[in-house]
């Protein structure tokens, strides 16, 4: 068992160390392209971690989580379109926009259960998608190009790709810390309890609807921040960012990594980005194999990568 | 906003509603009986259209192509059930959503491999082209009328099968209480296999009859699937009657919203504000409708009676 903990913890520590020194390693092997890949991975991991908070711990299967990526990205895109590049200002818009969208939609969605919840979150995300597709002013289908990345205080420049990366990495660590504290607090106990048996939590006297709504909003805002980073990173935003297949991929990442485990989303994202990268270099029909892989993961891998690691650890004691 | 245009758009709305019903019928039955969320249902709509496209171009006859493509999609649906879906019934919704999401990627890519990346359009027989004069003042494409007609025929047929036949009785019983009906000695899994394949065939049929207008293209399945989900949620999952009524409501609201919302808004706000916001608002209309209905009736308009 102790060896097991070592293996599981070891993999997590190794990945975090790799991520912490990624720019130096990439500089050393002289493949600057990989820094883009790793940055994208870290941003996706933030989005996945926020989904994991509601899906993995809260049992709320949101099929519309990519909407927050999109809203976050448009929260820089639209100000930038009007020549406003102040990063904190844009971040405030992101938080307000994602907070109010998740509050409003969450208020409706959380009244429903099971598959209704899956479908209604999907429908709200589609609603945002179609709304942005049809607004000609902000580029409609073609999206918007962002000329300059957000300007941050203290002369911290995002135009430098290494600082961009570290900003993403520290936000990831910060959010993982918050999620860790949240799910182990009384608040988190209520959320996890109501995922298992909502009526029991209610009869214990907890107004679970409010707890779940707040959790939904926190996850939405976190994912919005990931969208803010993504828009900055790609310098280009389009409604495609909140396409429903993006939401599906986020769910897949969470399940692949292991829903309801703190570092699962990080493992899942790493695996997802690597698989995508390898397969798409291999054949243009990579999505065929990717789809089959996804089906296979659902059918044969319970508990995701995180679960697999722990299982191996337990058997090799 | 003249009368003729309103009538034409009303008919277009009904035509969209009919199409949605063909897709939603299978979806709602599959969900109602087996508690199974099938995101890959839209793939059958796409596959039906592509098979029909190839057959039409090869045989030079649209009607024979449809006659052959219907059993073909039935078989495809049956095989999908046997190979993938039947392993997923006892899983939770999350697993079902993910696995069928994976299947969408598989089928979209397979169609890409077999038919190439571009869409395929195919011609209608000459006699189906042309306009009909309705009520003395409106010209409406004959083919769209045929779509409405065939959709209504299918709806009546389905209603008859489900309400008046023994198979239909078993299906309704399965939707109400699956455990009980299998305890009474009905092989619900086998029954379900045929329901699934029939639903697949209906979705394929919808794809076949719309593709001459829109062309068969990759991704057409996902587009209609999402609206079909809105339909079955509004109608109440598992209810054929709900699916029919909700399809027509959604079809009409979507079509009418897209054509008349800007005129309507000009009555209340400035022209410019109406022109910029109407397209976005009309695209959101059906989702707003769904949210409103779920807010007041989380189980949909016509939930089937259970237990």
Among A155, A246, A176, CA closest to A19: A176
| Chain B residues whose beta carbon lies within 8 Å of the beta carbon of residue A135 | 276, 279-280
Q: For residues A281 and B253, which has the higher predicted lDDT (pLDDT)?
A: B253
Q: Write the CATH number for A29.
A: 1.10.3470
Nearest-CA distance A203 → chain B (Å): 22
pLDDT at position A214, please? Answer: 94
* Contact call for residues B33 and B306 (beta carbons, < 8 A): no
Chain B's closest residue to A123, CA to CA, is B287
What pLDDT, in 10s, does the model give residues B27-84?
888 887 778 888 889 899 999 999 999 998 888 888 888 899 999 999 999 999 988 8
Nearest-CA distance A24 → chain B (Å): 36
Q: What pairs with residue B134 in β-bridges?
A: B138
pLDDT at position A215, please? Answer: 94
What pLDDT, in 10s, does the model give residues B215-258?
888 888 888 888 888 898 888 877 788 888 999 999 999 888 88
Chain A's closest residue to B293, CA to CA, is A108
What is the extent of the structural domain holding A129?
Answer: 2-315
What pLDDT, in 10s, does the model give residues A211-224?
999 999 999 999 99
Of A61, A116, A137, the CB nearest to B276: A137
Residue B263 has pLDDT above 70, yes or no: yes
Which residue, chain included where needed, has tokens 């309704």? B172
Rounded to the nearest angstrom, the gap between the alpha carbon of residue B118 and the centroid of all alpha carbons in its chain is 23
Residue A225 has pLDDT above 90, yes or no: yes
pLDDT band at B262 (very low <50, low <70, confident <90, very high): confident
Residue A13 has pLDDT above 80, yes or no: yes
In chain A, % of residues over pLDDT 70? 94
Q: Which long-range contacts (CB under 8 A, 24 or more apart) does A154-163 make?
A: A158/A87, A158/A232, A161/A35, A161/A36, A161/A39, A162/A23, A162/A35
Q: A with B: how many residue pairs have Cβ under 8 Å apart?
A: 131
pLDDT band at A316 (very low <50, low <70, confident <90, very high): very low
Q: How many domains does chain A have?
A: 1
Residue A4 has pLDDT above 60, yes or no: no
* Contact call for residues A231 and A43 (beta carbons, < 8 A): no
Q: For residues A176 and A137, which has the higher predicted lDDT (pLDDT)?
A: A176
pLDDT at position B206, please? Answer: 92
Q: What DSSP element (H or E) covers B134?
A: strand B131-134
Mean pLDDT score of chain A: 84
Residue A130 has pLDDT above 90, yes or no: no
From residue A212, alpha-carbon distances to A71, A114, B69, B266, B297 in Å are: 21, 14, 48, 40, 20
**CA–CA gap between residue B156 and residue B147 (Å, rounded):** 14
* Contact call for residues A46 and A173 (beta carbons, < 8 A): no
CA atoms A267, A273, A277, A283: torsion sign: positive
What is this model's ipTM? 0.82
Helices within chain B (DSSP H only)? 3-34, 41-59, 62-83, 93-115, 142-164, 166-176, 178-183, 188-214, 220-235, 240-266, 271-296
Nearest-CA distance A304 → chain B (Å): 12
**CA–CA gap between residue B195 and residue B180 (Å, rounded):** 18
In chain B, % of residues over pLDDT 90? 18
Chain B interface with A: residues with Cβ < 8 Å: 31, 37, 84, 87-88, 91, 93-95, 97-99, 101-106, 108-110, 112-113, 222, 226, 229-230, 233, 237, 276, 279-284, 287-288, 290-291, 294-295, 298
* Contact call for residues A171 and A43 (beta carbons, < 8 A): no
pLDDT at position A315, please? Answer: 53
pLDDT band at A317 (very low <50, low <70, confident <90, very high): very low
Residue A1 has pLDDT above 60, yes or no: no
* Contact call for residues B44 and B203 (beta carbons, < 8 A): yes
Nearest-CA distance A112 → chain B (Å): 6
Residue A155 has pLDDT above 70, yes or no: no
| Burial letters A57-82, b for 16+ CB under 10 A, else e | bbbbbbbbbbbbbbbbbbbbbbbbbe
Number of Cβ within 10 Å of residue A276's Cβ equals: 15
Question: B220-235 and B240-266 are packed helices; what angle lies between their axes, rounded to 10 degrees?
Answer: 100
Tell me the average pLDDT across B10-28. Answer: 90
- Residues A248, B31: C-beta atoms closer than 8 Å: no
pLDDT at position B21, please? Answer: 92
What pLDDT, in 10s, does the model give residues B176-202?
777 888 888 888 888 888 889 999 999
- Residues A63, B283: C-beta atoms closer than 8 Å: no
**CA–CA gap between residue A28 and residue B259 (Å, rounded):** 59
Residue A125 has pLDDT above 70, yes or no: yes
pLDDT at position A303, please? Answer: 67
Question: A66-81 and A208-234 are packed helices; what angle lies between their axes, rounded to 10 degrees?
Answer: 50
Residue A111 has pLDDT above 50, yes or no: yes
From residue B227, alpha-carbon distances to A32, B24, B218, B230, B249 in Å are: 43, 9, 17, 5, 12
Number of Cβ within 10 Å of residue A107's Cβ equals: 15
What pLDDT, in 10s, does the model give residues A282-313?
878 888 888 888 888 888 877 667 777 776 66
Residue A80 has pLDDT above 90, yes or no: no
Of B95, B101, B233, the CB nearest to A119: B233
**CA–CA gap between residue A21 and residue B87 (Å, rounded):** 43
pLDDT at position B306, please? Answer: 55
| Chain B residues whose beta carbon lies within 8 Å of the beta carbon of residue A245 | 101, 222
């Amino acid at each position: 068992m102790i060896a097991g903990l070592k293996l599981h913890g070891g993999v997590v520590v190794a990945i975090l160390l790799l991520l912490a020194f990624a720019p130096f390693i990439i500089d050393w092997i002289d493949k600057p392209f990989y820094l883009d890949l790793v940055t994208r991975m870290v941003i996706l991991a933030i989005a996945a971690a926020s989904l994991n908070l509601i899906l993995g711990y809260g049992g709320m299967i949101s099929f519309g989580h990519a909407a927050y990526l999109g809203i976050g990205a448009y929260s820089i895109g639209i100000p930038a379109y009007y020549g406003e590049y102040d990063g904190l200002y844009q971040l405030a818009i992101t938080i307000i926009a994602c907070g109010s969208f998740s509050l409003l939609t969450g208020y409706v969605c959380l009244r429903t259960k099971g598959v209704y919840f899956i479908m209604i979150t999907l429908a709200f995300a589609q609603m945002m998608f179609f709304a942005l597709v049809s607004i000609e002013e902000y580029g409609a289908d073609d999206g918007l190009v962002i000329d300059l990345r957000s300007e941050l205080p203290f002369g911290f420049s995002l135009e430098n790709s290494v600082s961009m990366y570290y900003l993403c990495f520290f936000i990831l660590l910060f959010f993982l810390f918050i999620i860790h504290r949240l799910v182990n607090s009384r608040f988190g106990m209520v959320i996890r309890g109501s995922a298992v048996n909502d009526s029991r939590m209610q009869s214990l006297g907890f107004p679970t609807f409010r707890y779940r709504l707040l959790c939904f909003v926190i996850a939405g805002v976190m994912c919005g921040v990931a969208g803010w980073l993504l828009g900055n990173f790609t310098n280009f935003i389009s409604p495609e960012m909140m396409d429903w297949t993006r939401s599906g991929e986020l769910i897949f990442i969470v399940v692949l990594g292991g829903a309801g485990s703190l570092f699962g989303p990080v493992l899942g994202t790493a695996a997802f980005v690597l698989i995508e990268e390898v397969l798409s270099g291999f054949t243009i029909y990579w999505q065929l194999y990717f789809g089959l892989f996804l089906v296979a993961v659902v059918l044969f891998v319970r508990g995701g990568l995180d679960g697999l690691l722990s299982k191996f650890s337990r058997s090799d004691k | 906003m003249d009368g003729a245009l309103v009538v034409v758009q009303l008919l277009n709305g009904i035509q969209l509603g009919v199409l949605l019903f063909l897709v939603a019928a299978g979806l709602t039955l599959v969900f109602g009986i087996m508690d199974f969320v099938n995101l890959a249902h839209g793939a059958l709509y796409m596959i039906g259209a592509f098979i029909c496209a190839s057959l039409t171009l090869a045989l030079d006859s649209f009607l024979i192509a449809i006659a052959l493509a219907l059993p073909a999609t039935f078989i495809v649906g049956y095989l999908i059930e046997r190979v993938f879906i039947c392993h997923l019934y006892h899983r939770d919704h999350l697993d079902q959503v993910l696995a069928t999401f994976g299947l969408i990627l598989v089928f979209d890519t397979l169609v890409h491999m077999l038919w190439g990346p571009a869409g395929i359009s195919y011609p209608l027989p000459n006699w189906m082209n042309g306009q009909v004069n309705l009520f003395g003042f409106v010209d409406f494409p004959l083919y769209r009328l045929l779509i409405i007609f065939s959709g209504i025929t299918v709806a009546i047929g389905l209603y008859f099968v489900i309400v008046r036949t023994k198979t239909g009785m078993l299906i309704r019983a399965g939707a109400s209480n699956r455990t009980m009906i299998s305890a009474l000695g009905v092989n619900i899994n086998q029954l379900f296999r045929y329901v699934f394949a029939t639903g697949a065939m209906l979705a394929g049929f919808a794809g076949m009859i719309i593709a001459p207008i829109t062309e068969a293209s990759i991704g057409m399945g996902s587009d209609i699937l999402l609206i079909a989900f809105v339909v079955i949620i509004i109608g109440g999952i598992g209810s054929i009657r709900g699916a029919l009524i909700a399809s027509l409501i959604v079809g009409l609201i979507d079509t009418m919203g897209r054509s008349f919302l800007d005129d309507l808004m000009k009555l209340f706000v400035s022209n410019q504000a109406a022109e910029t916001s109407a397209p976005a608002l009309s695209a959101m209309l059906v989702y707003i409708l769904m949210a409103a209905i779920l807010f007041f009736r989380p189980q949909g308009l016509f939930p089937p009676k259970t237990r």
